[in-house]
Structures are given as C-alpha cells and as structure tokens.
C-alpha cells in the first residue's frame, strides 16, 4: 500500500499557532485502511487533525505525525450524519445547517477536526460533542478497528476514554434534530458572535485555550485575577480580551510560548495554590530549555 509520507516536513504553515519546525515523518492517509497501515508501521505516531491545539517545537520533532486532513468524508442518512476524523468542525456544522439539522452549531467556531473534537469532548455555548454523539469507529494497537457507543466513550469535561486508553477516532456518528436551516443558521450566527467576543479568531494565530479549567473554577478567571492580560514575552502575548489565550503577534517561537505559559502557571500557583493543567499538546524533545519547562508544566518530560 502506497501512502503519502513526507520526511523532514516543515509543518509551521499548517499549525494554527504558525509555529513549528521540521517533523521527521508526516503521513497523509486518505482512507481507514491507510490509517491502520500507518499505525501498524509507526505505533508511536502522534495523530493530528487540523493542528489547532498543538504547539510544535521550532527545534523540530523527531517522531512521526499522522495528519488526517484527507480523511474528510461526510455522509448524511436522515437525521444522522457520519463524519470522518479529518473533517473540520466548521465544515460539519455548515453541512448540517444546510441539511436543516441542529446540534452541531457550536462547532462553527472551532478550528479543529472531528477526530480531535470527539477525543477531547469539545464544547462551547452550552453544547458538547457528547450531546448528539451516537458512536465512533476507533483504532487502537491492542484492539485494531472497533466501535464505541456513547456510554462506552466515558465522556467527561474535555475528556473521554480515548485519552485513557490511547484510542484514535476514525469517524463519528451523530443524531441531529430537524430544526430547519433558518433556525440552525441563526444558532450558528450566535455561536460565532460569542466566539468573536470571547476568543481570538485565527487571524490572530493561537491554539485555543492554554489551560484546562480546574475542578472548581475557571482558568481564565484565575489568570485574569492575576493580571496577566496583555503580558508580552518575545513574539507572543496573552490576549487582551481573555487571559487563557496566547496569540502569536510577532513571529513568536515555541520557547516564547512555553516561557509565557510557565509565567502564567506560576502566578496562579502562587496566588491561589492551584497548578493549572495545560490543555494544549506539545511536541518537541530537541531543546533543553523547552524540556525543562515542559517537565514543570506537564509534570512529565514531553516526547
């Protein structure tokens, strides 16, 4: 089976942060069979969709990455829709609206793809992936290709069983509500308006929320009370309108981001005794200072 693979692939332009160096091997599977073949070859490969919640080191990543962007089929069957893992959330929301089906409006403002959104049970505006989720086709090294129902996914806040058991999403099925295109489009417009007011759009390169909300509270509120809004470090800064976002405003580097994250983490710990947990994924390993920062931020050495 011939699968498109690029070596020493410069990935910066594909990331929503517009940061990153060369990745040793990047695979672009187009089918489920190709995806499985790649994972059999490269069991340690990192699977990414739209590279929207990931910071990749400017010093590069010596492992393998599987980009699912070409696994992008959408199939409607009555009120149900099946979307492959590489489908962008925005695209799925638009197609559902065109069909007059409600339940996925919140995805209109997401930069990510369906696989990642199911993996982390993405949510916004009072809606979450789990609300209309039916089942997913999945892959793991131990089980091969299999299906998981909504109950078996063990959805939680920004979590699912996929994180616990290293399960990859191949496609997901949702059951939607027939509301009519006009009503669904109005809901989507409201979601976009909220996002514009509370989160930076991708014309300001960013990778979404930097830290997860702690069990009791809001990471953004804690950071705001620590006065970090507008803090500049190198070419990146904390967004002026929300303290839990970092934007790349002037050709920032991965080290700039990690140093700023460390500063944000420290002030919250000192003021409130709360150690915030990063929401974004970091891929690196070739820079000593970055490794030191990651050991503190993630409580482990990143690969």
Q: Output the DSSP codes for 137-169.
A: EEEETTTEEEEEEHHHHT-BTTB-HHHHHTPEE
Distances (CA, A) of 257 to 46, 66, 136, 278: 21, 24, 34, 12
Q: What is the CATH number of domain 219-297?
A: 3.90.78.10
159 labelled catalytic: no
pTM assigned to the model? 0.91
Could you tell me how many helices (H) and strands (E) the chain has, helices first? Answer: 10, 18
What are 116-174's pLDDT values in tens digits?
A: 999 999 988 888 999 999 999 999 999 999 999 999 999 998 899 999 999 999 999 99
209 labelled catalytic: yes
279 labelled catalytic: yes
CATH topology assigned to domain 74-198: 3.30.465
Percent of the chain with pLDDT over 90: 86
**CA–CA dist 138, 144 (Å, integer):** 8
Domain boundaries, the chain: 5-67, 74-198, 219-297
233, 50, 145, 123: CA torsion to nearest 10: 70
41, pLDDT greater than 80: yes
Choosing from 57, 59, 69, 209, the catalytic residue is 209
Choosing from 41, 80, 123, 158, the catalytic residue is 158
**CA–CA dist 173, 92 (Å, integer):** 12
Per-residue confidence (pLDDT) for residue 203, from 0 to 100 = 78
CATH topology assigned to domain 5-67: 3.30.43
Helix (H, G, I), strand (E, B) or coil at 175: strand
Q: Which residues of 177-191 are buried (b: 16+ CB within 10 A; e: fewer)?
A: eebeeeebbebbeeb
Cβ pair 240, 204 in contact under 8 A = no
Q: How confident is the model at residue 300 (pLDDT cuts 50, 70, 90)?
A: low
Per-residue confidence (pLDDT) for residue 202, from 0 to 100 = 66
302, pLDDT greater than 50: no
């Amino acid at each position: 089976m011939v699968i498109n693979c690029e070596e020493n692939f410069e990935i910066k332009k594909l990331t929503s942060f517009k940061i990153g160096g060369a990745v040793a091997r990047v695979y672009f599977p187009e089918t489920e069979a190709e995806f499985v073949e790649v994972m059999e070859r490269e069991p340690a490969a990192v699977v990414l969709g739209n590279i929207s919640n990931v910071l990749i080191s400017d010093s590069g990543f010596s492992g393998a990455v599987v980009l699912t962007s070409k696994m992008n089929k959408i199939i409607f069957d009555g009120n149900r829709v099946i979307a492959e893992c590489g489908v962008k959330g925005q695209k799925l929301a638009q197609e559902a609206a065109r069909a007059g089906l409600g339940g996925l409006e919140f995805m209109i403002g997401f930069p990510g793809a369906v696989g990642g959104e199911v993996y982390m049970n993405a949510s916004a505006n009072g809606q979450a992936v789990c609300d209309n989720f039916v089942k997913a086709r999945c892959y793991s090294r131990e089980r091969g290709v299999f299906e998981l129902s909504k109950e078996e996914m063990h959805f939680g806040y920004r979590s699912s069983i996929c994180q616990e058991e290293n399960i990859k999403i191949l496609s997901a099925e949702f059951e939607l509500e027939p509301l009519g295109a006009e009503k669904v489009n109005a809901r989507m417009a409201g979601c976009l308006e909220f996002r514009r007011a509370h989160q930076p759009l991708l014309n300001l390169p960013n990778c979404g929320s930097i830290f997860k909300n702690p069990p009791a509270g809001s990471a953004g509120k804690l950071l705001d009370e620590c006065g970090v809004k507008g803090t500049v470090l190198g070419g990146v800064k904390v967004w002026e309108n929300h303290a839990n976002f970092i934007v790349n405003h002037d050709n920032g580097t991965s080290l700039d981001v990690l140093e700023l994250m460390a500063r944000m983490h420290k002030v919250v710990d000192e003021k409130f005794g709360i150690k915030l947990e990063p929401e974004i994924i970091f891929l690196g390993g070739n820079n000593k200072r970055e490794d030191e920062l990651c050991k503190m931020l993630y409580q482990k050495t990143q690969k």
